[in-house]
């Protein structure tokens, strides 16, 4: 069987909308276009019913009460609402926030913004495998810590934090606990009835739903209160004003329903593909897997090919769509801050590729990728003065480089 290129291996950037999801959405654009807030006619009632049905589907995937789900425009907005909303509401209790250096920018920058308006923050470094050390986390909490935010699944390296243990520490200390779960839904089981989590952010488009829609879980027992960040018509119990995007919400509900029903089988299949990819690459000389390989979602393989620069590698393998930890690609010259936080050297961070596998990835695509990677790494290493020095037995750390 032949493969169609380019091959999409960037499922953590976004996923295609599942055709079943797209199909479910369309009638809510063309036929059932009512405003779910319209209480006076059947157009509104139909839309409201669809919204509430979707809310139930989102709640079911994470074992929450539908009344604990607030619609937002995506995980970035959910993170903003959770962190700013809780920090501001409870600022009387304290003005210190704890988060992790490897969080998504939507968390880090939100916390930075709170620092600008008078909060203090601790950005805890993870261990070299990407996981948070529980004792270090406990030690970072202070009497005036009001909120902690730790992501469930890391977007770059796919490691899964021990949210239950971290949440228990927060509970002991009376700290509100927010979890960014944008990369986790459909990949790891989430049970909010058991997990000591107060706020959790979700996104639709990382789980085969449409872009532009997300949700925030806000615990009812014990009740967590937030200061709204978007003011207006008082939608979503006043927590997030703005006309609900019925078709997007329907899409998210359908995507989360499919995730709930299929994740077990799907993850087993994806794990086989990821292990096949890893097996095909790991015997290349000087390759390093970034992040813990066990406590990790099966979808992610982040790997550094030493002495090969990431952007040129991505260019060499343009038949596959992947991401690089060398942020040259995003017009700055900084290597990935996530890999740097793990203590990876700049050069290994610059040499990293993130493969993320998903629902529509095939074995043929994985085999094609392995072949292509092996060929191109060989070619680029022929071009690399660092590889030549390594082959000559020169320790690159002993060289005086002229930083520029």
Q: b/e string for 190-210 if b means 16 or more Cβ within 10 A?
A: bebeebbbbbbbbbbbbbbbb
Q: Where are the alpha helices (DSSP H) in 4-121?
A: 19-25, 27-30, 42-61, 75-89, 105-116
Per rule CB under 8 A, is residue 347 in the interface with another protein? yes
Per rule CB under 8 A, is residue 1 in the interface with another protein? no
The only residue of 247, 350, 354, 359 in contact with another protein, by rule CB under 8 A:
350
Total residues contacting another protein (rule CB under 8 A)?
Answer: 29
Question: Which residue number, 299 or 340, has a Cβ lying nearer to another protein?
Answer: 340
What's 174's DSSP letter? T
**List of E strands, 162-242:** 176-180, 199-203, 214-218
Check: CB of residue 339 under 8 Å from CB of residue 348. Answer: yes
The only residue of 128, 243, 282, 329 in contact with another protein, by rule CB under 8 A:
329
What's 286's DSSP letter? T
**Smallest distance from the beta carbon of 305 to another protein, in angstroms?**
11
Question: Which residues, 6 or more positions from 303, have their beta carbon under 8 angstroms from its beta carbon?
Answer: 278, 281, 287, 288, 289, 290, 352, 353, 355
**Smallest distance from the beta carbon of 13 to another protein, in angstroms?**
15
Stretch that binds another protein, among 110-118, 222-230, 244-252, 385-393 (CB under 8 A): 385-393
Stretch that binds another protein, among 178-186, 293-301, 344-352, 355-363 (CB under 8 A): 344-352
CA angle 92, 98, 104 (to 5 degrees): 120
**Smallest distance from the beta carbon of 273 to another protein, in angstroms?**
28
Per rule CB under 8 A, is residue 385 in the interface with another protein? yes
Per rule CB under 8 A, is residue 393 in the interface with another protein? no
Per rule CB under 8 A, is residue 388 in the interface with another protein? yes
**Smallest distance from the beta carbon of 388 to another protein, in angstroms?**
6
Rg for the chain, CA atoms, rounded: 22
Per rule CB under 8 A, is residue 331 in the interface with another protein? yes
The only residue of 29, 279, 383, 394 in contact with another protein, by rule CB under 8 A:
383
Per rule CB under 8 A, is residue 287 in the interface with another protein? no
Tokens of 39: 């209480």
The only residue of 135, 264, 382, 395 in contact with another protein, by rule CB under 8 A:
382
Count CB neighbours of 79 within 10 A.
31
**Smallest distance from the beta carbon of 320 to another protein, in angstroms?**
16
Per rule CB under 8 A, is residue 396 in the interface with another protein? yes
**Smallest distance from the beta carbon of 350 to another protein, in angstroms?**
4
- Rounded Cα–Cα distance for residues 63 and 155 (Å): 23
User: Dihedral, CA atoms, 237, 241, 245, 246, nearest 10 degrees?
Assistant: 20
Half-sphere exposure of 279 (CA within 13 A, CB side): 8
Per rule CB under 8 A, is residue 345 in the interface with another protein? yes
Per rule CB under 8 A, is residue 395 in the interface with another protein? no
What's 222's DSSP letter? T
**Smallest distance from the beta carbon of 209 to another protein, in angstroms?**
28
Give 319: exposed, middle or buried? Use CB within 10 Å, 0-12, 13-18, 19+: middle
The answer to whether 328 is a known catalytic residue is: yes
Question: Which residue number, 117 or 396, has a Cβ lying nearer to another protein?
Answer: 396
Q: Which of 22, 188, 289, 328 is catalytic?
A: 328
Give 269: exposed, middle or buried? Use CB within 10 Å, 0-12, 13-18, 19+: middle
- Show the site string, 307-326: x = touches another protein by CB under 8 A, - = not: xxxxxx--x----------x
Interface residues for another protein in 186-205 (CB under 8 A)?
none
**Smallest distance from the beta carbon of 337 to another protein, in angstroms?**
14
Per rule CB under 8 A, is residue 346 in the interface with another protein? yes
Per rule CB under 8 A, is residue 286 in the interface with another protein? no
Tokens of 173: 């200390």
- Rounded Cα–Cα distance for residues 32 and 45 (Å): 10
The binding site for another protein (CB under 8 A) comprises: 307-312, 315, 326, 328-329, 331, 333, 335, 345-347, 350, 382-388, 396, 401-404
Looking at the annotation, which residues are catalytic?
328
């Amino acid at each position: 069987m032949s493969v169609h290129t380019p091959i999409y291996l960037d499922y953590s950037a976004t996923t295609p909308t599942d055709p079943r999801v797209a199909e479910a959405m369309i009638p809510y654009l063309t036929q059932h276009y009512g405003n779910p807030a319209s209480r006076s006619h059947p157009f509104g009632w139909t839309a409201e019913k669809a919204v509430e049905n979707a809310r139930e589907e989102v709640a079911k995937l994470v074992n929450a009460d539908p009344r604990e789900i607030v619609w937002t425009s995506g995980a970035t907005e959910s993170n903003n609402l959770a962190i700013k909303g809780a920090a501001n509401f409870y600022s009387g209790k304290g003005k210190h926030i704890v988060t992790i250096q490897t969080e998504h920018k939507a968390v880090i920058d939100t916390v930075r913004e709170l620092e600008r308006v008078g909060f203090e923050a601790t950005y805890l470094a993870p261990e070299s495998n990407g996981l948070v050390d529980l004792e270090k986390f406990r030690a970072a909490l202070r009497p005036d810590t009001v909120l902690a935010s730790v992501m469930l699944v890391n977007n770059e390296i796919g490691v899964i934090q021990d949210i239950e243990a971290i949440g228990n520490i927060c509970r002991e200390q009376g700290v509100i606990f927010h979890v960014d779960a944008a990369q986790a839904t459909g990949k790891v089981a989430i049970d909010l009835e058991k997990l000591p989590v107060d706020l959790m952010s979700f996104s639709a488009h990382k789980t085969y739903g449409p872009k532009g829609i997300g949700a925030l879980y806000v615990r009812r027992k014990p009740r967590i209160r937030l200061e709204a960040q978007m003011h207006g018509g008082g939608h979503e119990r006043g927590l997030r004003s703005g006309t609900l995007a019925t078709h997007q919400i329907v899409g998210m509900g359908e995507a989360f329903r499919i995730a709930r029903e299929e994740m077990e089988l799907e993850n087993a299949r994806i794990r086989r593909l990821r292990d096949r990819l890893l097996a095909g690459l790991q015997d290349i000389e000087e390759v390093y897997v970034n992040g813990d390989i066990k406590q990790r979602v099966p979808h992610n393989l982040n790997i550094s090919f030493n002495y090969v620069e990431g952007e040129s590698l991505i260019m060499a393998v343009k038949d596959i769509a992947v991401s690089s930890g060398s942020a040259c690609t995003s017009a700055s010259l900084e290597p990935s801050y996530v890999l740097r936080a793990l203590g990876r050297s700049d050069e290994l961070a610059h040499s990293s590729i993130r493969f993320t596998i998903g629902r529509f990835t095939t074995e043929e695509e994985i085999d094609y990728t392995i072949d292509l990677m092996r060929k191109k790494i060989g070619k680029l290493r022929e071009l690399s003065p660092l590889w030549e020095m390594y082959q000559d037995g020169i320790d690159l750390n002993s060289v005086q480089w002229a930083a520029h």
